[in-house]
Structure 1
Amino acid sequence: MWGLYLHIPFCPTRCIYCDFYSQSDLSLQSAFVEALCRELTIYHNREQWATAPRTIYLGGGTPSSLPLPLLERLMQHIRSLWSLDEAIEITLEANPEDVSPEWADGVAQLGFNRISLGVQSWSDETLCFLQRRHSAAQAELAISYIRQVGISNVSIDLIFALPKGYEQHWSDSLAHALTLPVTHLSAYGLTYERGTRLDRMRERGAVIPSSEETYVTQYYALVAACREAGFTHYELSNWALPGFASQHNSAYWDGTPYLGLGPSAHSYMAGHRWWNLSDIHLYIERLQQDTLPIADEEWLTPTELYEECIMLGLRICRGIDLRQPVLREAPLMERATPWIKQGLLSHTADDHLRLTYDGLIWCDRICAALC
């Protein structure tokens, strides 16, 4: 069992907070898709990837910026390599401004059955600040168009803990999102990643980050509102209606092997991690020469495997499975006891360690203590 991730690195413009690899030369799209198809073929010919993937996820970048004929070329090639299960989850990330009735119908016919929309906010003022290209009205229309073509699995992304002057829009954005026909919600506190335009704005005082108190208050308001709306909190930043948790992303947290293709994409199998070059020109050039565009790789040490097991386990609702072999030699329960006594961790009857409601906000600190 494994998941297939395809990184589509095209964005007409870059949002001020984004540090993912992308570029804006859309004239490279056709050559890129051909290179990606070649990369798919090379891996398919290797024994460990010969069976069909369990999930497929197109992320970016902005996958919805690819013209439908190129998406069709890509999906036809994938189906020529693997016999896909009829129930396979196939996700496409999309920006609301790219979604039209014709586009929605086109991607549905190509087999995409889960759409992840980068909404971020229902405030036009906030969207303008973040340099998003859509309006709140366009986001709502996009959801409607997707549902009308029979795609019922619709996820949206939201951002909280916005800078001073914008943080007051969060409660209205969240309340509105939960009235819409969506099945999944991912929400993230705004981060100031080094090298982004947003971080440079912070450095010169053009924006003032929200306080830690605001972050905590807005996060717990999110937890409460999603619970009230019937969404299950299955991972620290993800909520879903019953039956709609992301199968693809859940595999990342479970340690399931995944193959990441495209510039900058990462792959993982049994403690081995490797990643591609973050340069689309070199990526295309290498694959035109039938050479994989791998930038580097690493084999996780026993200590690193332990730490990753702790970090991933804490993030998911069922917690850390204490029966895993990688945890047997470490004094994990000794390290966990102080947090259990404070009511921030619980030791469940089925031998898992998981965060309590009060412990959610302390995930990073508890993770460091357990490692």
Structure 2
Amino acid sequence: MWGLYMHVPFCPTRCIYCDFYSQSDSSLQDSFVAALCRELAIYHDQEPWAASPRTVYLGGGTPSSLPLPLLEQLMHQVRSLWSLDETIEITLEANPEDVSPEWAHGVAQLGFTRISLGVQSWSDETLRFLHRRHSAAQAERAISYIRQAGITNVSIDLIFALPEGYDRDWEESLAHALALPVTHLSAYGLTYERGTRLDRLRERGAVTPTSEETYVAQYYALVAACREAGFTHYELSNWARPGFVSQHNSAYWDGTPYLGLGPSAHSYTAGHRWWNVSDIHLYIESLLQGVLPIAEEEWLSPTELYEECVMLGLRTSQGIDLHRPELREAPLLERATPWLEQGLLTQTADDHLRLTHDGLIWCDRICAALC
């Protein structure tokens, strides 16, 4: 079992907080898809990728910026190499401004079963600040178009802990999102990544990050609102209605192998991780020569495998499986004792170590202590 991820690195404009690899030259789209099809062909008969993937995910960047014929070419290549089960989860990330009735019908015909929509906020003022290209009204229409096309699995992304002056819209945005016919919600606290325009604004004093108290209050308001709306909190930043947990993203947290293709994409299997060059020109040129565009690779040590098992497991509602072989040689329970005594961790009857409600906000600090 494994998951297939394809990174589509095109964005007409860059959001002020984004540090993912992307570029805006749409004239490279044809060459990029041809290169991606070659990369798929190289991997498809290698172990463990010879068996059909459990999930397929097109992320970015902005995959919805690819014209439908190129999406069709890409999905035709995937299906020509692997036999995909009819029930497989096939996700496409999209921005609301790209979604029309025709587009939604087209991607449904191509077999996409799940759309992940980058909404971020229901405040037009906040969307302009973030340099998003859609309005709140466009986001709402996009959800309607996707549902009308027969795709019922609709996920949306939201951002909380916005800078002072913009953070006041959070609870309104959240209530609006949960009232819509969506099946999954991902919500992230805004981060100030080095090299982004947002971080430069912070350095100049043009924006003031929200306080820690506001961050905590907004996160717990999110937890409570999702629970009340019938969403299961299955990972620190992810909620789903029953039956709509993201199968693809879950692979990242439970150690399932995944193959990442496209510029900057990461892959993992059995303690081996590698990633592609973060340059579309080098990516295309390498594959034209029949060479995989790998930038670097690493084999995780026993200590690193332990740390990843702790970090990823603790983020999920199931918690850390104490029977995982990666944990056998470390005094995990001894390290966890202070947090268990404070009521921030709990040990379940089936030997899982997981965060309590009060411990959710302390996940990073607890992970550091356990590692």
What TM-score, normalized to structure 1?
1.00
Structure 2 CA distance, aligned partners of 1:223 and 1:37?
41
Match of 1:265 in 2: 265
Residue 329 of structure 1: how far off its partner (Å): 1.2
Structure 2 CA distance, aligned partners of 1:289 and 1:63?
25
Tell me which amino acid in the other structure corresponds to 1:200: R
Please state if 1:219 is matched with 2:219: yes
Structure 2 CA distance, aligned partners of 1:38 and 1:327?
39
Match of 1:45 in 2: 45
Match of 1:254 in 2: 254
Structure 2 CA distance, aligned partners of 1:325 and 1:156?
35
Structure 1 CA distance, aligned partners of 2:229 and 2:360?
19
Partner-residue secondary structure (3-state), 1:86: coil
Mapping of residues 1-371 of structure 1, within 5 Å? 1-371=1-371
Please identify, of 111-120 and 45-54, the stretch whose mean Cα deviation from structure 2 is larger.
45-54
What runs of 5+ residues in structure 2 fail to find an aligned partner? none
Tell me which amino acid in the other structure corresponds to 2:218: Q
Tell me which amino acid in the other structure corresponds to 2:64: S
Tell me which amino acid in the other structure corresponds to 1:207: V
Structure 1 CA distance, aligned partners of 2:287 and 2:217?
48
Two-structure CA RMSD over aligned residues (Å) = 0.4
Structure 1 CA distance, aligned partners of 2:227 and 2:335?
31
Tell me which amino acid in the other structure corresponds to 2:360: L
Residue 47 of structure 1: how far off its partner (Å): 3.3
Structure 1 CA distance, aligned partners of 2:368 and 2:61?
31
Tell me which amino acid in the other structure corresponds to 1:19: D
Tell me which amino acid in the other structure corresponds to 2:89: E
**Structure 1 segments (4+ residues) deviating >3 Å:** none
Partner-residue secondary structure (3-state), 1:58: strand
Any idea what the Cα deviations from partners look like across 1:137-161, whole Å, max 9, x if unmatched?
0000000000001100000000000
Residue 350 of structure 1: how far off its partner (Å): 0.5
Any idea what the Cα deviations from partners look like across 1:109-144, whole Å, max 9, x if unmatched?
000010000000000000000000000000000000
Residue 108 of structure 1: how far off its partner (Å): 0.1
Any idea what the Cα deviations from partners look like across 1:325-351, whole Å, max 9, x if unmatched?
111111111110110000000011100
Residue identity (%): 84
Residue 45 of structure 1: how far off its partner (Å): 2.5
Please identify, of 326-335 and 239-248, the stretch whose mean Cα deviation from structure 2 is larger.
326-335
What runs of 5+ residues in structure 1 fail to find an aligned partner? none
Tell me which amino acid in the other structure corresponds to 2:362: W
Structure 2 CA distance, aligned partners of 1:164 and 1:325?
45
Residue 218 of structure 1: how far off its partner (Å): 0.1
